[in-house]
Structure 1
Amino acid sequence: MAHSTAGTRNRAVPRPLPDPAGLPALARGSVPLMALAAGLSASGNYFAQPLLDVIQRDLHIGATAAGLIVTAAQAGYALGLILLVPLGDVLERRRLAVSLFSLTALFLLLTAAAPGGPLLIAGTLLVALTSVGAQVVVPFAATLAAPAERGRVVGVVMSGVLLGGLFGRLASGALSELGGWRTAYWVNALLMAVMTVLLQLRLPRLPRSREAGAMSYTGLLRSTLALLRQEQLLRWRAAIGAFSMASYSVQLTALTFLLTRSPFDWNAAAIGLFGLLGVIGVLGMNVAARLGDRGRVQAVSGTAGALLTLSWLPLLAGESSLPWLAVGVISLNIAQQAGLNSCQNVIYALRPEARNRINAGFMTLFFLGGALGSALASVVWSWAGWGGVCLLGGLLAATSLVLWVLERVGTNGGARPVPGAVTR
């Protein structure tokens, strides 16, 4: 448990906990493997986005049905976060991860073979539901990592998730040119099957906690919600993460609208390549991870919130200037990924025995924030154009920064995970 420096009412600085007996250390090469696994698992949720027009023509479905494919991916992932990720605290984690990866491979095959829209939508929902195996791998890595390197390890694995989303879109477009839209799903299914075998062979078995092992499934879900009530820092960080992701999603959604009109007039392929600037966000995440491991997680949080807010100034100037637009996109990506890593550094230090439930609660609210940002961006774009979008994104980012300041005040200085503060 973590306790405030002023007393027991807040959990601000985790106190040392006894190292659980028999906990294995990270084997050589395990971190890159887990990052690759998380990236492959996440990538399948993004395959359909650049292929909607091709799928629509091939399956003879309407635009509404094609749009439901993306909705199904979002809904399935959200359900998986809240319904499946908490199981990592009661089931043996390697078995859970391997099971989810194997099911994802199977559902990718079913999706690839879908003869029509309804089965494609159902397959997409199932793929997204089990692709939360990536969010089982992240706390798995955090548990195996030594306290002094936990931030770095989590940063590397989360970088895999980020890169999986970015390259998933590109890969699906390229593979569709080679053999049609189904090719991306066939190839990803094969890769997921291979990864299932590698995870089974390379990852260690982890002992379950006695407390969690005695829970029923409904008790586990109630416990996930209870953690949000009990852990003040989890609530703060979930709110900070949700607003920062909302700001980030405003840019993701509205950028396509901007680049398809004058003076840019870009096609979908050019927009996809421009989106690769998001890869630079990986640098922000890994720098933040190393600073967090040195006890500077609060400095990272504050800096990330400020940079996220200020990034909307070059984005505003980018309405008619590609260089300023690129500066804004790069800055926003670095800030978002650094802020996410600092939030994870804090929440994973709270209760080592409940990391999967904590991750489930945090990530559910995180992605709900992203969905809210996307919805608001579409509405504001219609009403106020790019200027209104930038104002919206800046306000959401500023809110995340204000929440960080309030967290510092409300928790007597906030959480600052330090090396050796928690168990692996």
Structure 2
Amino acid sequence: MAIQCSGTVGEGGGTDSREARSAPSVSDLSPPARLVPLLALACGSSVATVYFSQPLLVTLGERFALGSGLLGAIVAVTQLGYAVGLLTLVPLGDLFGHRRLITGQLGLLALALLAAGLAPGVWALLGALAVVGLLAVVAQTMVAAAAALSPSGRRGRAVGTVTGGIVTGILLARTAAGLLADLAGWRAVYLASAGVTAVLALLLRRALPLGTTSAGVREVPYGRLVASTVTLFARHPLLRARGALALLVFAAFSTLWSGVAQPLSEPPWSLSHTAIGAFGLAGAAGAVAAGAAGRWNDRGLAQRTTGVGLVLLTLSWLPIALTRQSLWALAVGAVLLDFAVQAVHVTNQTLIHAVRPDAGSRIIGGYMVFYSAGSSLGALGSALAYATAGWPAVTALGASFSLAALLLWMTTCRRGVPGGASAAERPDPADQADPRNG
């Protein structure tokens, strides 16, 4: 069906009246003042567990005798676990109350991190990291919870705040992992994270409301609930378009951050874990972008935000290509790249949630499968490219992903494929009431 590329969040869902009929009653009320910041903190801590290995790849490769071409497997196995969790665990947010699900997953994540920190061999480590990735999807459950617990007029800001926490967690993951590894070894990174995760689980158990589920969802079998995620993406062009953008954007993101440890640890730089991890702070603009993009989306500027973000993402690879000549060039490129990625990411999540607010967990979970697939692709591609032709090949790969995302967005706009949904895209209330229809 033809959908106008209007770029407004109002057109992306326009569901104020429908939301009142179909979403949980808690969404009609503003969440407690401390809840959204606490969710942002917990999201950042959870998603950081997926990125701890990036500044440690060279050390882990030496410790477990992995060649440079196989280092990407350490990142990829975590991302693959994340993808499985997105399809199997995140949809549970539409079936169970937020407090029960979020705190339970955080507790299990703490145990998985403990296992990673104590892993005696490479297979035990890879298995533990796969489970860490599986359970780290609790971050997306918390994004869906923040959206569901916020009124429609402030949803973009809530999603932006929580996503800003995720961005900060990703950035601090590299810095903290590098610092702890230099001070106490790589195992301390995962053991410390296990303790922090357990504490956050207890805090959120006290802060989260019991919550309710959407009408009719509680009675749907789990298998049908998971299958309905696929149905949702099959029925709504907006979800497919934004998912494809996420795959390409995060492939570019992972190409940089999964590959940059190798040139930085070699001459002429030969940086320590701490210094390599600190480069993640160069992308702190990403946290700023997340909050700003949420406000822009609330003002109806979704398409403009997407376009500017994708142009900046493509241009960011010009200074990144000069990494071996200048660390300042890498820093500038990282700022542009992280700003662009998070601006597009927040825009995507705000738009897709508006399509079916009653199915927010399933939609965000399905969308993040594209994110995880892109991250795995970037990690594996970056490792193979570096082993084959060095840093120039890595930058060419990242620039290709970025340019493909820009061209895809331009093509979908030209063809009238969604950036925001028209009235034809909005589901009927009867369709919302039955999750078996997707």
Q: TM-score range by the shorter chain?
A: 0.7 to 0.9
Does the 8 Å CA contact 2:306/2:344 hold for their aligned counterparts?
yes
TM-score (norm 1): 0.87
Find the residue that maps to 1:213 and give its secondary structure: coil
- For 2:412 and 2:132, locate their aligned partners in 1 and report how far apart those are by CA, in whole Å: 37
Q: Which residue of 1 aligns with 2:238?
A: 233
Q: Which residue of 2 aligns with 1:63?
A: 66
Answer with 302-311 or 397-406: which moved more. Answer: 397-406
Does the 8 Å CA contact 2:238/2:418 hold for their aligned counterparts?
no
Q: Which runs of 5+ in 1 are unaligned?
A: none
One-letter amino acid matched to 1:36? L
Find the residue that maps to 1:63 and give its secondary structure: coil
Q: Which residue of 2 aligns with 1:42?
A: 47
- For 1:353 and 1:3, locate their aligned partners in 2 and report how far apart those are by CA, in whole Å: 24
Q: Quick one: structure 1 residues 83 and 318, their matched pair in 2 at CA, closer, same or farther if it must change by over 3 Å?
A: same
Q: How does 1:50-129 map to 2 (within 5 A)?
A: 50-51=55-56, 61-63=64-66, 70-129=75-134
In structure 1, which of residues 274, 279, 287 is the aligned counterpart of residue 279 of structure 2? 274
1:389 is aligned to 2:394:
yes
- 1:180-237 CA-partner distances (Å, limit 9, x unpaired): 4443333322222221121111111222112322221211121111111111000000
- For 1:248 and 1:68, locate their aligned partners in 2 and report how far apart those are by CA, in whole Å: 16
Find the residue that maps to 1:415 and give its secondary structure: coil
- 1:138-196 CA-partner distances (Å, limit 9, x unpaired): 01001112222222211221122222233223323433455544433333222222211
Does the 8 Å CA contact 2:297/2:347 hold for their aligned counterparts?
yes
Q: Which residue of 2 aligns with 1:172?
A: 177
Q: Which residue of 2 aligns with 1:248?
A: 253
CA RMSD of aligned residues (A): 3.1
- 1:237-291 CA-partner distances (Å, limit 9, x unpaired): 0011111111222222343343344543434432222232122211122211111
Q: Which residue of 2 aligns with 1:15?
A: 14
Does the 8 Å CA contact 1:277/1:330 hold for their aligned counterparts?
yes
Q: How does 1:149-298 map to 2 (within 5 A)?
A: 149-177=154-182, 179-298=184-303
One-letter amino acid matched to 1:185? Y
Q: Which residue of 2 aligns with 1:312?
A: 317
TM-fit CA distance, 1:80: 1.1
One-letter amino acid matched to 2:271? W
TM-fit CA distance, 1:71: 4.4
1:341 is aligned to 2:340:
no
TM-fit CA distance, 1:54: 6.2
TM-fit CA distance, 1:32: 0.9
Which has the bigger relative contact order, CA under 8 A and spacing at least 6?
2
TM-fit CA distance, 1:117: 4.4
Q: Quick one: structure 1 residues 326 and 30, their matched pair in 2 at CA, closer, same or farther if it must change by over 3 Å?
A: same
Does the 8 Å CA contact 1:104/1:131 hold for their aligned counterparts?
yes
Answer with 164-173 or 274-283: which moved more. Answer: 164-173
Identical columns (%): 35
Does the 8 Å CA contact 2:4/2:420 hold for their aligned counterparts?
no
In structure 1, which of residues 321, 326, 329 is the aligned counterpart of residue 326 of structure 2? 321
- For 2:130 and 2:322, locate their aligned partners in 1 and report how far apart those are by CA, in whole Å: 39
TM-score (norm 2): 0.84
Q: Which runs of 5+ in 2 are unaligned?
A: 430-438
Find the residue that maps to 1:346 and give its secondary structure: helix
Q: Quick one: structure 1 residues 161 and 90, their matched pair in 2 at CA, closer, same or farther if it must change by over 3 Å?
A: same
Q: Quick one: structure 1 residues 315 and 215, their matched pair in 2 at CA, closer, same or farther if it must change by over 3 Å?
A: same
One-letter amino acid matched to 2:210? R
Count how many residue pairs are aligned between Structure 1 and Structure 2: 413
